[in-house]
Structure 1
Amino acid sequence: MEPLRSIPPPGRPGPPEAESPRAALELARLLRDAGYASPRIQERLGTGDELLARSPELPSYLRRLGDADELAVLLRLLLLGVPVDRARVDGHVGGELRGRLESANFLVHDGEVVHGAARLVPHDELLIASDHAAAAETHADHVPGVHRPSVALAHLTVRRGGERALDLCAGNGIQAILLAAHAEHVVATDVNERALAYTRLNAALNGVDNVETRAGSFFEPLDGERFDLVVANPPYVVSPETAYLFRDGGMRGDGVSELVVRGIPQMLAPGAFACVLIAWALDPDDPAERPRTWLEGSGCDAFLLHTSTDDPIETATLWNRELVDRPEAYADALDRWLAYYRELGIERLGYACLVLRRRLESGEAAAAGWVEALQLPRQALRPAGRHVARLFETHDHLAGDAAGQALLRRRLRVADEAVVSRDSRFHAGRWHAQAPTIRLEAGLPFTAELDPPTARLLAELDGSRTLEEALAGAVVEGDDTRAEGLDLARRMLEIGFLELADEDAP
């Protein structure tokens, strides 16, 4: 009978380890030759655009796969965490690939069955290994795979080139590997030695040789060093537990986020960026108040890219969903987490990517940095690092009242990434035209409905005339209307719907 859930290997082996960088690359090549890549896996599992298999769907995945060909056996072992009869492994997995998996300790023999020692998931061109989800239940040092917060952090990171970069709380090493593609050198730190072992393995599997791993808690391994770019995915969850190193920081309330946000500015070289995932106890009257307080006197400017706001039940449910098939344990965990939030007086929790930029100047001017908050749409993010960098450049350009008035003399145009469209809706026997919308097809996925005055103004902003001239052609003359148009153009410029057409544009 097919098992209904994945089964961890006996004795919980250590992370796989390739014999050499060359051996790791050869293993990755053999896996891809066997079809171990996103399109083939999606096709075999019937997951559409999704790749990460969900435990409740495991029985259907197994029945789609069967176990009578090489890719099916590999997916059972390395993706789904299901043991396979040794005879089937020997009969279907090619000798060279099987030998490479054996020598790297990816396979664990248990009598007449074989287990996969780790989970291996393709992400675009990368292969990322981590612990199987089933192994998490009893191990604090569990190393999870790539989750949506990790993807969001990668998409929002400002990347330039040639940096000395830091991946703080590296986990399985996905951020360090992405940094290595453009940074000269990457330091990856984690308190979890098992996580660093996976970081080294994943670097080798993907041909990365400029990542250095260091063990230690938060900033301990860094000894006052400075970096050109820092990314951090710390254990930011506001949690009453100490069950998992990757999730539970062991500090009260949002103490982990505060510690990291207060500490990172001291790690940044002048002009350097940092991107860090945080969570905090949110005040609905001033959502950005706590992160803003943490940055006072830091010498950094910041955008708080607010991704979501959850109530306590949503948060407790999200971070305990691995217990959903154990109803009593699940209910106990929810009650424990909700009691913790009541004790702390938390009614809302904010989640964001906080992007920092160290100021170039020193002294009092550097300490007086600004913090702006932007609510991101609740939809899938895409690579947006360049857009995030432009947010800082545009804010600098528009700083101060005098700069705002000077904007009237600047030439503006609609950004190349912006698309204006109008949909129609069929209702009561006929088609009804909807209000036009503007959206960005690259970068941050902002969308806005256009009222008639805004639509007329956009039609005038083709880069050939100043904003003042465009306002004259688009709106009725008058001080109030002119001021409103200036404010509107400024806001659309700040988030990227418009851009400066002048030769000195950022």
Structure 2
Amino acid sequence: MTSDLITLLRTDLLFADFSVEGLTTLWGDEADAALHRAQRVPAIRALADQRSPSATLATLFVLGMPVSREVFESALPVIGLDGAVSLGLVEQTDDLVRPLLDLRPYSFVDAHGVVSWWIASDLGELSTGGALREDHVLGVGGASMTLSGLMIGTPADSALDLGTGCGIQAMHAARHAKRVVATDISQRALDLASLNAQLNGIDNIEFRLGSLFDPVAGERFGHIVSNPPFVITPRTDGVPAYEYRDGGLVGDALVASVIAGCAEHLEPGGVAQLLGNWEYGIDRDGLERDGLDRVGGWIDASGLDAWVVEREVQDAALYSETWIRDGGTRPGAEFDRLYGAWLDDFAAREVTSVGFGYLTLRSPRSSSTLRRLERLDGPVGSGLGPHVVATLDAHDRQFSLDDDLLSRLVLAVAGDVTEERHYWPGNEDPTVMTLRQGGGFGRSMALDTGLAALVGACDGELSVRAIIAAIAQLLEADESALSAELLPSIRELIETGFLA
């Protein structure tokens, strides 16, 4: 019966053109941008005189406002009010129909093409006007879009989405994996994730109830993805423990636990991708404790290949404010009480700030070779998955070559790379030379004279050895010494995609 109702709902949504592009056309770019800031007034004003099915659905399910029964049944004539009530989408009060779920379109582009889905989740603060329930099921937010954008599309027999929530990562993984297992500690989350998979015609996901890796004990996967409940929350009475973000452990222990679990559940060569937080602070000896060093310790213990990118560091106060506000608590007495609990927790454990970033882990087929822990806080584009794959492949290629074989390569500068040179007025020689990458993480790399000359000559014609020989002659330098100096930089430029 439920599957039949979902089919009827899909028919109505298609007929109404309930799509990302359709909604933007309805209310315009300004209102769309305001909604991303959690402000709905511009969208309400834009829809005030519109009576199309799409406008009704947007009013009800995106803006979280009631509509009349007559207007509702005009917008959803196939499933009708009784069907929508049975599916748990709405409730009727007198002549008004009120939403029980958030339902909105979602679109993206990946290696397989352009995709449009609909995603159901719990109503947010914008609709309820108050703090979230502890069993709140989050929809598609910034973090989930970040992870899906990072996701590699390498075909896999099996994939695992750890802590699936509304199911968005499992649905993405289902596009390149033959079989996906999605786990969550919340039955409500699994029910909504199953609804979303069915609504979008995805039938290769299996949903399992349980904490972290418990539901997949003894199993291994070619790909693991997780936006785990990593938010550092005080273990104090009276502090809400939101299931979608709080794993119930102290500090950043949840991320350490997930890394260890990935080592046990990845197939040889399998890749795990997750988001996480890690703590900075003061250790028992009074020395500064670096957050990335903590992550490095967890990785060393796991034996996994790892590439960790730290994107942001927030001081303890800002971190506390961010996540208290995320739970729907507005400034006031309750906000201040929670604020004090968070700061007490950080102070007691001598935590000064919290880092956030991305982790790409891989189960090595022999011994671990990849260990990149870096801070990259510049602006990046969307769809980084292909760049992640290219970086892993480039690492493997260059790592397999000794210096002699590396020097025989014929390289070319990647198409998105530019070079900047800065001069003191009147000087012929540059004082600063920098390579910049237009794609990927938008990296920059400082150049000295020798490396600048080498990169400039990488046009797909000469080998690295021939170029170094020519530069050595030009600079009247020892060729062997120059080669030993430049080859490590060449390896880095290959791995990070400056040279191909």
Tell me the TM-score range normalised by the shorter chain.
Answer: 0.7 to 0.9
- The residue identity in structure 2 corresponding to 1:43 is T
**Letter aligned with residue 383 of structure 2:** P
Q: What residue number does 1:410 align with?
A: 409
Mapping 1:216-235, distance limit 5 Å: 216-235=210-229
Bigger CA drift: 286-295 or 317-326? 317-326
Structure 1, unaligned runs of 5 or more = 1-17, 425-433, 500-506
Contact persistence 1:280–1:349 (CA under 8 A): yes
Given candidates 252, 266, 269, the residue that maps to 2:267 is 269
Count how many residue pairs are aligned between Structure 1 and Structure 2.
Answer: 463
CA 1:334–1:470 in 2, change beyond 3 Å: closer, same or farther? farther
Asked if structure 2 preserves the Cα contact closer than 8 Å seen for 1:25 and 1:207, the reply is no
Q: Are the structure 2 counterparts of residues 77 and 407 from structure 1 closer, same or farther at C-alpha, using a change threshold of 3 Å?
A: same
Q: CA RMSD in A?
A: 2.9
Residue 233 of structure 1: how far off its partner (Å): 1.2
Residue 141 and residue 324 in structure 1: after superposition, are their counterparts in 2 closer, same or farther (change >3 A)?
A: closer
Residues of 1 paired with 2:62 and 2:16: CA distance? 14
The match for 1:294 is 298
User: 1:67 and 1:98, CA in 2 relative to 1: closer, same or farther beyond 3 A?
Assistant: farther
- SS of residue in 1 equivalent to 2:119: strand
Structure 2 unaligned segments of length 5 or more: list them.
Answer: 108-115, 282-287, 423-431
> Residue type matched to 1:394 in 2?
A
The aligned residue for residue 188 of structure 2 is 194
Contact in 2 for aligned 1:83/1:114 (Cα 8 Å): yes
Identity %: 30
Which of 335, 344, 347 aligns to 1:342? It is 347
Residue 109 of structure 1 is aligned with which of 92, 114, 128?
A: 92
Cα gap change, 1:285/1:137 in structure 2, threshold over 3 Å: closer, same or farther?
A: closer
User: Which range moves more in the overlay, 375-384 or 312-321?
Assistant: 375-384
Residue pair 2:137, 2:244 contacting (<8 A) in 1 also: yes
Q: Deviations over 1:189-242 (max 9, x none)?
A: 000000000110010111100100000111111121111111111110111144
Is this contact kept in 1: 2:278–2:355, CA < 8 A? yes
Note closer, same or farther for the CA distance 1:53–1:25 as it changes in structure 2 (3 Å cut): farther
The Cα shift of 1:177 comes to 0.5
Give the Cα–Cα distance (whole angstroms) in 2 for the partners of residues 436 and 398 of structure 1: 23
- Residue identity matched to 2:411: L
Q: What amino acid maps onto 1:360 in structure 2?
A: R
Please report how far the alpha carbon of residue 160 of structure 1 lies from its aligned counterpart in structure 2 after TM superposition.
Answer: 1.2
Does structure 1 retain, via aligned residues, the 8 Å contact 2:222–2:271? yes
Structure 2 letter corresponding to 1:250: G
* Secondary structure, aligned partner of 2:146: helix
Instruction: Provide the rounded CA distance (Å) in 2 between the counterparts of 1:293 and 1:54.
Output: 37
Supply the distance in 1 between the matched residues of 2:452 and 2:59 (Cα, whole angstroms): 54
Letter in 1 for 2:78: E
- In the other structure, the counterpart of 1:382 is 382
Residue 390 of structure 2: SS of its match in structure 1?
Answer: helix
- Seen in structure 2, the aligned counterparts of structure 1 residues 395 and 380 have a Cα distance that, compared at 3 Å, is closer
CA 1:77/1:234 → structure 2, altered by over 3 Å: closer, same or farther? same
> What is the deviation of 1:73?
1.8
Give the 5 Å matches for 1:304-383: 304-322=308-326, 323=328, 325-361=330-366, 366=367, 370-383=370-383
Partner of 1:164: 158
Question: What's the counterpart of residue 130 of structure 1?
Answer: 121
Assess if the C-alpha contact under 8 Å between 1:31 and 1:97 holds in 2: no
Tell me, yes or no, if the aligned pair for 2:436 and 2:442 is still in contact at 8 Å. Answer: no
The residue number in structure 2 matching 1:438 is: 436
Task: Please identify, of 129-138 and 107-116, the stretch whose mean Cα deviation from structure 2 is larger.
Answer: 129-138
The alignment's TM-score, normalised by the length of structure 1, stands at 0.83
* Equivalent residue, structure 2, for 1:121: 104
2:420 and 2:292 mapped to 1: Cα distance? Answer: 34
